[in-house]
A and B are shown apart, each in its own frame.
Chain A
Amino acid sequence: MKTLEIPTFECETGNYHTFCPISCVAWLYQKIEDSFSLVVGTKTRGYFLQSAPGVMIFAEPRYAMAESEEGDISAQLNDQKELERICVRVKNDRNPSVIIRIGTCTTEIIKMDLEGIAPKLEKQLGIPIVVARANGLDHAFTQGEDTVLAATTHRCPEYNHRTTNEHEEDVAKDIAVDVTPSNKCNKLFDGRSKSNKYNLVLFGSLPSSVASQLNLESRRQSVSVSGWLPSQKYTELPALGEGVYVCGVNPFLSRTATTPMRRRKCRLIGAPFPIGPDGTRAWIEKICSVFGVKTDGLEERENQIWKNLSDYLEIVTGKSVFFMGDNLLEISLARFLIRCGMVVYEVGIPYMDRRYQAAELLLLQHTCEEMKKPMPRIVEKPDNYSQVQRMHELQPDLAITGMAHANPLEARDIDTKWSVEFTFAQIHGSTNARDALELVTRPLRRRSDSILGCRSLSRQAVNV
């Protein structure tokens, strides 16, 4: 078995299935409570939003389509007037604190100047308008969130580290937030809060309960999180500026990572992502090392979590996985699953930012060495057709794939887990490691009582 390898990257044709990046409105509108997302584009995108995020559309969501008609495409209608009319209606109906305007392929192709129109409209309406170009020409699925957060970064208030008053206030706030200080924690905290003027902003949209779990995780090491991008409300965006450290919680946020660095003079902490107990520990260790904080009890905590997972680990150990790739969480999940004792054959991924994911890749490599598992092959812009051929040869125990392939693969006796669930389920932090494994093991647990011993339920012949 080959154990020591540098990761090799392959790139295929990019003929793969993924969701359109505008799907990010489905979770972002829920996260940012006072926002309204307006997707500017054609019926094709509207129909996607209604058929993919499905049921949410019925719950009076705070998102809508500004549907371009023939007159818009041929410029018989004035873009600015049209958008103004629609934004006024949105303002009157919903009165949001911000309108997030999502550009699509259509607006790209006809070169609608969304960024140019926004400031004018903003003045007229008195509502901030954030423009994000989440289109299928440039991005895949979760990268939609990346474009929105990168655009939102510019709207964060300026952090002024020189104003001592404010800083003292900050410290006071930090202590106030710390609702359950254990004695030890307090001591560490008091000792360090003055010497380390750290200010940590985490970026990535997570459900509020998961965000508070990660806050807790870092507070345990006496590093308090000063803000999140995005915040629960647009009006509560965290302050950015020189002296602020930022750290990502999701692997698809490369634009969002560079924007605070380049435009707001923040420092980026490049860490593995807090997915799985191993990832969470590595993530928090990296943050602590940047602030010069000595970590405390991390190893015991991780071991404890692993011990609690033992029933699931029994199921997955030795089983093989194939990631077809569609949401960019693949590297982190693969790393976590290898640590769980699985063998990963292939990690398909839409786009691989080797700089932003450097720490994660390194952890993946270490994990492979430690677990004595082969380094998986990483395939960027995969080709789904070739992948299915490869899967017929490899016969993995589990394929993590989009819904377009899930049922056909199941019919061919390859167990699948629908990948989109990982973006909607709570998988971050040690607390949720169980949930992540719950998802992974679901098809494997079901396996043991398969019906009538049916192997293949497909009519099509498999030609390898």
Chain B
Amino acid sequence: MKLAYWMYAGPAHIGTLRVASSFRNVHAIMHAPLGDDYFNVMRSTSERERDFTPVTASVVDRHVLARGSQEKVINNISRKDEEQHPDLIVSTPTCTSSILQEDLQNFVDRASLSSESDVIPADVNYHRVNEPQAADRTLEQITRFYLDRALKRSSLDRSVTNSPSANIIGIFTLGFHNQHDCRELKRLPGESGILVNQVIPEGGSLKYLKDLPRAWFNTVPYREVGLMTATFLEKEYGMPYISITPMGISNTADFIAQIEKLVNVWSSALSEKRLNYESYVDNQTKFVSQAAWFSKSIDCQNLAGKEAVIFGDATHAASITKILVKEMGIRVSCSGTYCKHDAERFNEQVQGLCDEVIVTEDHTEVGDTIARIEPSAIFGTQMERHIGKRIDIPCGVISSPVHIQNFPPGYRPFLGYEGTNQIADLIYNSFNLGMEDHLLDVSGGHDTKGVSTKSLSTDRRDINWTPEAESEPKGIPGFVRGRARKNTEIFAKRNNISEITIDVMYAAREKSSS
């Protein structure tokens, strides 16, 4: 047993549900007790999703404990099949079903006899993997299922597209700025004549999955999700893939160089003209992205040598570390990730860029590290933002887990050339805020502070507040406290009450119509 207050990565089934609900017309049925369907809440609020989340629970209750699920899971699958005609139903195990050790495969086999939809059980072990790993696995599983079937039915079109094209793998729901990144990613090769064959799983349709191998190559923008699918496609269908995250100027240039290399292999075979992106990259770097200019400008000069701590998932933490150190001249005292399963690769990526590396899932360890280092700014998850708040250090949020404010309606990619602009803003604002606060403290603070705390009711001295009543407004939120107090005093005056007790306060509240 482990004492835990907070976790960076969620349980396995969340990963499966995120992949399943990202595809079009796929329904997930969880084998779980009442209340475990909070994934629907997360998706509907954080993503501000307009449509019902295609996830239901086959509820585990006392009867299931006593007699097993028997027909229940099967009935729930058939019912969903009739009601909503999904293309695929993913039977999703949770911690509960893994302890009960019910044979989901058997349920699935039986249910698929009668249902129009395809039915598969998510092959995910609750105790062994976490949310991103499960997502990675489920995506591969679904892809493999449809490609294998197409192969069997020999409906697989193995010819590559006429003009160069790519698949984007790993964009999905509740991913950190995934929607914006996707738009930026489509633009990146698109501007240089490479088509996007498919994006999976977000918005992907299962019936087109069989056309995945028609792309010339795959791109996996995030390390956490999509690598398994890409390696599967490489092994079985000989598709090369790019696993460089195009985040920051140099990474983006590397990414495009990779595209160039992969496409040119084919174009020489097709005896077409070779692609050369040098001038494209040059132009983008100098003029579309402001980041190169920004790092040269005097603003960024002021940041030189300032200290920062970075923590997040492996993709974002490693990329941001590289950007801070190589592109902005900021000193990264510590860089870390909670993706323990990917620790080796993370170490490799940030080696030589930072003073120390931490790989941990324990937020108190991260907090202690930050407190010890006392950097000028933190770049981390929502947890680090709160740590920063507590010790007065500004924080830019660069990775999941995140809150609703990290799903902005405005265009905020982290990838590609527009991404470099966004990141420059984020970094500059974080440091600058800290600086401004510091300067204010040095010069004695904002002059408006004194005014705002002053009571607005002028003749307070006529009215007496009993100690109990005095302490009561503490139960009222700060921003309405002043008004509540004023209303009470007006009420007291009108009724010739000279002492305000708790009773008077409530009476005033009942009378007031605001």
Contact = CB atoms under 8 A, between A and B. Distances in A.
A316 B76 CA distance: 38
A20 B35 contact: yes
A216 B502 contact: yes
B36 A48 contact: yes
Interface string B495-514: 00000011100100111010
B96 A109 contact: yes
Contacts of B48: 407
Contacts of A7: none
Contact of A105 (B96, B403, B472, B501): B96
A66 B510 contact: no
Interface string B45-79: 10011111100110111100100000000001000
A230 interface: no
Given A135-B33, A140-B34, A308-B511, A209 B4 contact: no
Contact of B5 (A64, A208, A308): A64
Nearest to A42: B95
B41 A404 contact: yes
Interface in B463-506: 466, 468, 472, 475, 501-503, 506
A199 to B, nearest CB: 23
A83 interface: yes
Nearest to B130: A43
Q: How many B residues are at the interface, by size bracket?
A: 35 or more
Contacts of A407: 44-45, 48-50
Contacts of B57: 15
A55 B513 CA distance: 31
A243 interface: no
A77 B403 CA distance: 36
A405 B44 contact: yes
B498 to A, nearest CB: 13
A404 B37 contact: yes
Contact of A459 (B51, B126, B475, B511): B51
B513 A308 contact: yes
Contact of A83 (B1, B76, B466): B1
B95 A43 contact: yes
B82 to A, nearest CB: 11
Given A43-B95, A216-B502, A136 B34 contact: yes
A179 B502 contact: yes
A308 B512 CA distance: 8
A20 B475 contact: no
Contacts of B447: none
Nearest to B40: A404
Interface stretch (B9-17, B141-149, B268-276, B287-295): B9-17
Contact of A431 (B6, B62, B506): B506
Contact of A48 (B38, B60, B65, B503): B38
Interface stretch (A67-75, A114-122, A246-254): A67-75
A17 B1 contact: no
A77 B1 CA distance: 8
B83 interface: yes
A14 B32 CA distance: 13
B3 interface: yes
Given A43-B10, A86-B3, A209-B472, A431 B509 contact: yes
A411 interface: yes
Interface string A53-72: 01101100100111111101
B51 to A, nearest CB: 5
Nearest to A85: B1
B33 A137 contact: yes
B50 A459 contact: yes
Nearest to A457: B50
B127 interface: yes
A52 B38 contact: yes
A57 B49 contact: no
B42 to A, nearest CB: 6
A329 to B, nearest CB: 17
B298 interface: no
Contact of B33 (A66, A105, A311): A105
Nearest to B63: A137
A375 to B, nearest CB: 28
A329 B52 CA distance: 24
Contacts of B49: 407-408
Contacts of B34: 14, 16, 18, 20, 136-137, 139-140
Interface in A3-42: 14-21, 40, 42
Contact of A388 (B52, B62, B503): B52
A50 B363 CA distance: 13
Nearest to A134: B35
Contacts of B235: none
A411 B50 contact: yes
B393 interface: no
A43 B502 CA distance: 44
Contacts of B510: 304-305, 308, 430-431, 434
B383 A58 contact: yes
Contacts of A65: 2-5
Interface string A397-422: 00000111111100100000000000
A46 B65 contact: no
Interface of B: 1-7, 10-11, 13-14, 32-38, 40-42, 44-45, 48-53, 56-57, 59-62, 65, 76, 83, 94-96, 99-100, 126-127, 130, 383, 386, 401, 403, 466, 468, 472, 475, 501-503, 506, 509-511, 513
Interchain residue pairs A-B with the least CB separation, the first 7: A20-B35, A136-B33, A404-B40, A411-B50, A209-B475, A58-B386, A42-B95
28 contacts: A15-B56, A20-B36, A42-B11, A42-B95, A43-B11, A47-B10, A48-B38, A50-B401, A52-B38, A58-B386, A61-B5, A67-B1, A73-B127, A85-B1, A105-B96, A136-B33, A141-B35, A209-B475, A216-B503, A304-B510, A308-B510, A405-B44, A405-B52, A407-B49, A408-B50, A411-B51, A458-B51, A460-B52
Interface of A: 14-21, 40, 42-44, 46-48, 50-52, 54-55, 57-58, 61, 64-70, 72-73, 77, 82-83, 85-86, 89-90, 105-106, 108-110, 135-141, 179-180, 207-209, 212-213, 216, 304-305, 308, 311, 385, 388, 402-408, 411, 430-431, 434, 457-460
Given A64-B5, A67-B3, A138-B62, 9 more contacts: A14-B61, A21-B35, A65-B2, A72-B1, A106-B96, A109-B96, A109-B99, A216-B506, A407-B44
